[in-house]
Structure 1
Amino acid sequence: LGCGCGLVTLSLARWGCREVTGADDSPVALALAAASCAEAKVSCEKVRWRRLDWRDLDACARLREELGPWDAVVSADCVLAAPPSGPM
């Protein structure tokens, strides 16, 4: 969730995870993560990058169908900035 530059995703791949998927809603973050993957010489066969707005439950369901079940979901420093909802 929110892979950003790909540090956690790439670390999981290097630590022996069979397959790792980094997801982010930012095309800039995904491009940076893919470049980091190439720079770190991590096998592109075990790492996948997907654009995903994790607030979109239908998109999350489609990604799960595409990739199959997960053993774990990892998130680091994820913050969702919600727009103001009015007076409390």
Structure 2
Amino acid sequence: MRWVTRRKIKSEIVIGRQAALLGIIVLAIVIISRLTGGLQFLEWMAFNKFLRFRAPEPIDDKVLVMGINEADIRSVGRYPIPDREIATPIEAVQM
């Protein structure tokens, strides 16, 4: 009975050591891949999937995009456009 128990314990220890060694090797491979950027493409793909599955966000009515083009620069007559010239339409929109 004692020999059977000792053999069983020894075999379980060997299996445990093998599993621990395999786990350490896999962990080292993942860490090295992560540090060298080898997993970045997979991370981007997973991130894109998560963004596609989330609920759509409502459009905020408070956001306004104002642009300055060549015609605006010509009408002011100089570049860069002074802050005072840029502030005038922004103040008009805020009122």
Whether TM-score is above 0.5 comes out as no
| TM-score w.r.t. length of structure 2 | 0.17
Which one has the bigger strand percentage?
1
Which structure has more relative contact order (CA 8 Å, sep 6+)? It is 1
Higher helix share: 2
Larger radius of gyration: 2
